[in-house]
């Protein structure tokens, strides 16, 4: 018996010696390894940690080992080397708006490199380009560029980070004229898995350049800055709202399906429907008069109950279309919300009337507050690029649908809502839409996301991954793998 005890004890001893270092030991070495970093580091014991991991979607939380607020490319490089040496996961966070919290890793215990301080915007007026630090938010970008008379097309929410946004496409209110944010990228600087800063453009690492424009969010390295080709801000912009009687929803779709594509590219519209509320908001890059004349047929077919046109400066329209409280000054606030979303791409001729009924019925029966948004792509610049020119494959789209559910905080109600959303999404996608979904509205539960997000580009993307990150340092639950099988 005593022999047995000794045996057990020896076993214990051996186990202790050979076991992975305890949590405390890892933290110390991580701290030590990150010593050369000049930016702030936030560890789990720090008071601000619980705030710093919140981000936009409060439905899920992950607990990183540390958040490094990089202030330079060197800080990013040091972080990558520490993650490799200590064999811990690493993830980039720009604006923290990932729908599945992939900006904090999509799992616990990773090293988060937050890029908020890499927020320089350097405009070259004669070349009409801007080098934009990956940590910039869309609001400050619109503001700074418009001060110099320029714009890039992107989403309307001012607190979204350009890092994640433009790496997955980026569609917004100038989308029909200019296409996606990613379509205007001329080069990208990225820290790779070896900790080296490399450039991706048509001349340098063109395979990586292809991959980053549509599949660059998190899978290949940490992007530190992005060079965009700029477009001039028009002298006058008209934002407008068309309000509809929800009981005549089909008329709105008749207009979207039949007339949408022939609207001038200067006009981008987004239809949003929820119980008791059907509305189109739009931006026209021109005068109110020209907006009203361009919309004549659309209005005739759809019969809005109210129309409003606001002729204003470009930046005033950015503020109007952005979230409440954004005044164009430097730090747009987050609006944390517990939510889950599904996305669908619809090709011409658009959603059938059975499809319209199906989604409307869903909106009217789900227990949690839910809306559907339809962003018109048809007749716009996003469709004029070949599907294999960049990693953004969805080039034949009439509209993009987002179905967005805000959870209540009550666990049993939320479970019912999430289950309904999931099963509705599967059926609706099978019956009424194309096969595809939008990678920027990332959804952890989506089946065959590899092809729904990347289509025929997926295999090529895995080859680029194999070449630039063969050990899969940059991984998260829906990252591009090193092989297609
Ligand atoms: C309120 C709201 C409004 C939105 N509106 C629109 C819209 O109008 N149009 C549209 O197209 N999309 C929109 N989106 C979706 C948005 O584009 C994506 O969620 C995008 O990924 C957010 O980028 P981020 O940098 O803010 O998020 P993060 O959570 O920081 O990052 C998202 C993903 O990209 C990776 N990533 C971030 N930065 C880098 C980097 N520097 N290098 C490499 N990988 C990086 C992260 O690791 C993560 O996987 C919206 C999202 C929200 C929450
Ligand atoms: C940002 O610009 C400042 C001022 O020009 C410069 O000192 C700094 O190095 C730049 N930061 C990065 C990350 O490029
Ligand atoms: C802008 O680009 C031009 C052309 O490449 C270059 O000659 C010039 O120095 C740049 N200007 C600035 C301010 O960097």
Per the CB < 8 A criterion, the answer to whether 168 and 211 are in contact is no
Sequence spans of domains, the chain:
29-114, 121-233, 237-450
Q: Rounded CA gap, 82 and 110, in Å?
A: 11
Q: Around Cβ 297, how many Cβ atoms within 10 Å? A: 14
Rounded Cα distance between 66 and 108, Å, is 10
How many A from CA of 128 to the centre of ligand 3?
10
* Ligand 3 site, CB within 6 A: 124, 126-127
CA distance 333 to 137: 10
**Interatomic CA distance for residues 265 and 279, integer angstroms:** 20
121-233: CATH topology: 3.30.465
**What is the per-residue burial (b if ≥16 Cβ within 10 Å, else e) of 68-100?**
bbbbeebbbbbbbbbbeebebbbbbbbbbbbbb
Rounded Cα distance between 69 and 89, Å, is 16
What is residue 215's three-state secondary structure?
Answer: helix
Chain centre distance of CA 6 = 58
Instruction: Measure 295 CA to ligand 1 centroid, in angstroms.
Output: 32
Rounded-to-integer distance, Cα 36 and Cα 34, Å: 6
Query: Is the fold of 29-114 the same as that of 237-450?
Result: no
pLDDT at 26: 66
Residues 6+ apart with CB under 8 A from 16: none
Please state which CATH class domain 237-450 belongs to: alpha beta
Specify whether the CB–CB gap between 208 and 468 falls below 8 A: yes
Is the pTM for the entire model greater than 0.85?
Answer: yes
Phi-psi bin for 226: left (phi > 0), alpha (psi -120 to 50), beta? beta
Q: Which of 349, 364, 371, 357 is nearest to 273 (CA)?
A: 371
Q: How far is the CA of 127 from the centre of ligand 3 (A)?
A: 7
Structure tokens given for 75: 């800080």
Beta pairing class for 185-191 and 197-201: antiparallel
Closest CA relative to residue 303, chosen from 372, 359, 373, 253: 253
- Please tell me the distance between residue 174's alpha carbon and the centre of ligand 3 in angstroms: 27
CB 82 within 8 A of CB 30: yes
Contact 121, 141 (CB under 8 A): yes
Pocket test for ligand 1, best of 76, 83, 94, 283 (most atoms within 8 A of CB): 94
Show Cβ contacts of residue 434 under 8 Å, excluding neighbours closer than 6 positions. Answer: 344, 345, 346, 347
Taking CA atoms, 247 is separated from 227, 251, 362, 365, in Å, by: 46, 9, 15, 15
* Helix H or strand E segment including 23: helix 23-33
pLDDT score of 485: 82
How many CA atoms does the CB half-sphere of 155 hold within 13 Å? 21
The answer to whether residues 91 and 103 touch, using CB atoms and an 8 Å cutoff, is yes
Ligand nearest to the CA of 156: 1
| Protein fold of 29-114 | 3.30.43
Share of the chain above pLDDT 90, in %: 88
> Whose alpha carbon is nearest atom 12 of ligand 3?
124
Tell me what pLDDT residue 55 has: 83
pLDDT tens digits along 314-365 = 999 998 888 554 555 545 667 788 999 999 999 999 999 999 999 999 999 9
Q: What's the pLDDT tens digit per position in 25-69?
A: 666 799 999 999 999 999 999 999 999 998 888 999 999 999 999
Residues of the chain with pLDDT under 70: 1-27, 323-333
CA of 154 to the centre of ligand 2 (A): 24
Beta bridge partners of 341: 404
């Amino acid at each position: 018996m005593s022999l047995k005890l000794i045996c057990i004890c020896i076993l214990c001893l051996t186990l202790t010696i050979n076991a992975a270092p305890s949590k405390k030991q890892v933290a110390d070495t991580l701290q030590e390894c990150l010593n050369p970093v000049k930016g702030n580091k936030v560890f789990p014991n720090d008071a601000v940690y619980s705030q710093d991991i919140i981000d936009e979607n409060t439905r899920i939380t992950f607990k990183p080992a540390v958040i490094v607020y990089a202030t330079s490319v060197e800080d990013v490089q040091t972080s990558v080397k520490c993650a490799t040496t200590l064999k811990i996961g690493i993830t980039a966070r720009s604006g923290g708006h990932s729908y599945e919290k992939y900006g904090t890793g999509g799992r616990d215990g990773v090293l988060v490199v937050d890029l908020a301080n890499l927020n320089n915007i350097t405009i070259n007026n004669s070349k009409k380009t801007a080098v934009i630090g990956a940590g910039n938010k869309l609001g400050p970008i619109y503001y700074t560029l418009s001060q110099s008379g320029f714009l890039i097309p992107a989403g309307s929410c001012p607190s979204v980070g350009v890092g994640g946004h433009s790496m997955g496409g980026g569609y917004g209110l100038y989308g029909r004229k200019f296409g996606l944010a990613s379509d205007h990228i001329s080069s990208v600087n990225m820290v790779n898995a070896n900790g080296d800063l490399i450039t991706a453009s048509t001349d340098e690492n063109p395979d990586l350049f292809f991959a980053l424009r549509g599949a660059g969010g998190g899978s290949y390295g940490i992007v530190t800055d992005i060079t965009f080709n700029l477009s001039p801000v028009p002298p006058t912009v008209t934002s407008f709202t068309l309000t509809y009687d929800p009981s005549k929803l089909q008329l709105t779709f008749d207009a979207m399906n039949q007339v949408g594509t022939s609207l001038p590219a200067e006009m981008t519209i987004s239809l949003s429907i929820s119980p008791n509320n059907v509305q189109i908001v739009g931006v026209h890059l021109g005068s109110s008069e020209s907006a009203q004349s361009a919309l004549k047929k659309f209005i005739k077919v759809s019969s809005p109950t109210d129309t409003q046109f606001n002729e204003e400066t470009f930046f005033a329209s950015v503020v109007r279309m952005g979230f409440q409280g954004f005044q164009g000054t430097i730090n747009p606030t987050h609006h944390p919300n517990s939510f889950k979303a599904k996305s669908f791409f619809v090709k011409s001729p658009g959603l059938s009337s059975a499809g319209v009924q199906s989604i409307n019925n869903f909106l009217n029966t789900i227990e949690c507050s839910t809306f559907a948004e339809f962003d018109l792509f048809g007749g716009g610049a996003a469709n004029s690029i070949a599907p294999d020119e960049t990693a953004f494959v969805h080039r034949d789209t009439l509209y993009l649908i987002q179905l967005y559910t805000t959870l209540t905080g009550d666990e049993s109600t939320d479970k019912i809502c999430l289950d309904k959303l999931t099963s509705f999404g599967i059926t609706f996608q099978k019956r009424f839409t194309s096969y595809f979904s939008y990678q920027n509205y990332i959804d952890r539960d989506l089946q065959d996301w590899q092809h729904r997000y990347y289509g025929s580009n997926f295999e090529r993307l895995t080859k680029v991954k194999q070449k630039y990150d063969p050990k899969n340092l940059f991984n998260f639950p829906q990252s591009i793998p090193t092989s297609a099988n």
